Amino acid sequence: MDFVLPLVIAAAAFAIYRALPEPKPKAEAEPEPDGPVVMRIGPIEKPSVRDVDELRIVVYMLPDCVRWGVELPRPGTATFRIYPEGAKSFASKLFGGEDVELAVHPVFDYTFMIRADDHEAVRRMWRHEQCAALMGISREAVVYGEQQVIVLEAPGRFEDDVIERGIDLLVALARTDLYGIRVLSTLPDAKPVADSLVRLPGPGEIRVGPYRDGDRVRTRIWSQIRVDREVVVPFELGTAKLESEGVETTLTWDGIEEDPRRLLAGVAFVRSLAEAPALGVFR
């Protein structure tokens, strides 16, 4: 009889196992090309594409949010991130992080945390109209820009009018003249040679435009002029610094230069380098 009890226990356990519901299959994992393995999160609607002038806006309807994105021509946009005030921003400030204060909207600075490498560039992008537009879309939205991309993401599902407002916001941000390109196009005899460069008469070839140096963007005059002597940069050119190597000479400002008179003075100075020698030192 000693063997009966184990048989009874085994039979009871098997009956309980049969009565349990079948486990649901695990979510299917699918590797992305040259990327990590990701889990399927549900159906994603086909993205909507909108062409506005030379900009292409792509809108993704994700299961739990809407994502707007735009790709910009060179030199692109400022590097920044805007996200709701909360635990992250509190911790950031607690450990010495500093956000950008726009001071153009009554509650925007208290609603969102703004981080950026170039504070002035972000202030030029985010005027009162852009701040009010983001507040009207969602106070839980996240916006970030990096080099040639700006992305807006907001949780939830939205009506068509909100989708349109998101598109309008990205277009406004993308059209901000962060790097003084419109001023360059007004310089006498300037001819566009790229998305953000203009060419001016030499001697040699002279190009003027924004130059990305890491996270900063600076205005630079580039020329094919050999300078084998020491020269002094005129005081009226402000922060401009001269560098020469081989047959290339550049005059670079510390930031974006938008004063057309100063730009023309810089071009005239570079042209003068091909003329009679001048004594002095690099500054």
> Whose CA is closest to 154, among 248, 80, 68?
68
Residue type, 147: Q
Residue with tokens 């985010």: 126
Whole-model pTM: value is 0.66
Can you tell me the distance from the alpha carbon of 94 to that of 75, in angstroms, rounded to the nearest whole number?
A: 34
pLDDT at residue 91, as a whole number: 58
Region 214-231 average pLDDT: 85
Mean pLDDT of all residues in 84-101:
66
Residue that wins the pLDDT comparison between 131 and 277: 131
Domain ranges of the chain: 43-174, 181-272
Cβ(195)–Cβ(207) below 8 Å: no
Alpha helices in 70-223 (DSSP H): 87-94, 108-111, 119-125, 128-137, 160-174, 181-185
What is the rounded CA–CA span in Å between residue 278 and residue 270?
12
Tokens of 36: 């990590």
Q: Answer whether residue 188 shows pLDDT above 60.
A: yes
Task: Quote the tokens at residue 99.
Answer: 């956000």
Q: What is the DSSP letter of 112?
A: E
Nearest Cα to Cα of residue 73 among 174, 144, 170, 168: 174
Q: Following CA atoms 267, 271, 277, 283 in sequence, which dihedral angle do they give, to the nearest 10 degrees? A: 20
Q: Contacts for 50-58 with beta carbons within 8 Å, 24 or more apart?
A: 50/167, 52/167, 52/171, 55/170, 55/171, 55/174, 55/175, 57/167, 57/170, 57/171
Interval 42-84: pLDDT, tens: 445 678 899 988 899 999 999 899 999 999 987 788 899 999 9
pLDDT in tens, 227-250: 877 889 999 999 999 999 888 999
Q: What is the mean pLDDT of residues 144-148?
A: 91
Per the structure block, which two tokens stand in for 57?
């806006």
Quote the CA–CA distance of 83 and 114 in Å, as a whole number: 7
